[in-house]
Amino acid sequence: MKIKLLVLLVCVLISLPGVATAVQSLDYQRQSEQAAAVTKAQSEHAAAVTKAQAEHAAAVTKAQAEHAAAVTKAQFEHAAVVTKAQSEHAAAVNADNGIVNKIYSFLKTGLLENIYKLFQGGPSTPAQYPSGGGAVTDMGITIIENSPEIAQNQKNVTDAQKRWIPEAVELCRDGLPMEEILMLAPGVQGGELFFPKQRLTSVIKNEAIKQGITCKE
């Protein structure tokens, strides 16, 4: 009996390393499965985070693009409104200027002519006065001899215009149109009646040509 027990004990002792190895193997397998599960969970979490970040970035980019498009559209619409308003304003100003110029032209060429005739009792051009009823200054203005006050007034304006010619030539050089230059001439600003437009234009252009300048109409 003792021998059987001894044999059994020996057998048990011999099998213990195998049992330990088996137990250790099972433990390694359990740890590997746990590690694989953790790795899988981490990968899935990382994928979910990456997807969420990509979706957020796409949403932000889309919102930014829509905002930029809305701002651009608003800017274009504002520019169109401003341009339309400017065009309408310019058209209105041009229309007003046209009316003013017509009135001015009528007063200068029609009314003044009649005033000259009233004082002279006839035509206002000296060439039509065989008896020498009128005289012409350097600027082409008819001086009415039988009205000393008006004649002196004309002479003063003529002298002022002669002194102003160099300034007019400089305005030509700066590119100002002739119509606007003439409106700055002495005799216009002061409300004088004597304003020989054609003669002044000719004198200014001739002086400008001498300096190599072409005046705008």
- What pLDDT digit, counting tens, does each position of 160-178 carry? 778 888 998 999 999 999 8
**Residue 212: predicted pLDDT:** 92
For residue 99, is pLDDT > 70?
no
Q: What is the pLDDT of residues 148-162, one digit of tens each?
A: 666 677 777 777 778
Lowest mean pLDDT among 33-47, 92-106, 113-127: 113-127
**Residue 96: predicted pLDDT:** 59
**Residue 4: predicted pLDDT:** 66
Most confident of 88-92, 123-127, 187-191: 88-92
| Cβ–Cβ < 8 Å for 144, 151 | yes
For residue 118, is pLDDT > 60?
no
**Residue 133: predicted pLDDT:** 40
Left if phi > 0, otherwise alpha if psi is -120 to 50, otherwise beta: which for 125? Answer: beta
**Residue 135: predicted pLDDT:** 44
How far is the CA of 11 from the CAs of 5, 21, 87, 125, in angstroms?
A: 10, 16, 114, 155
- Rounded percentage of the chain residues whose pLDDT exceeds 70: 55
Calculate mean pLDDT across residues 134-156.
56
Q: What is the pLDDT of residues 39-67, one digit of tens each?
A: 888 888 888 888 888 888 888 888 888 88
**Residue 216: predicted pLDDT:** 85
pLDDT band at residue 140 using 50, 70 and 90 as cut-offs: very low
**Long-range pairs, 22-25, Cβ under 8 A, ≥24:** none
Planar angle of CA 91, 93, 99, nearest 5 degrees: 105
For residue 211, is pLDDT > 50?
yes
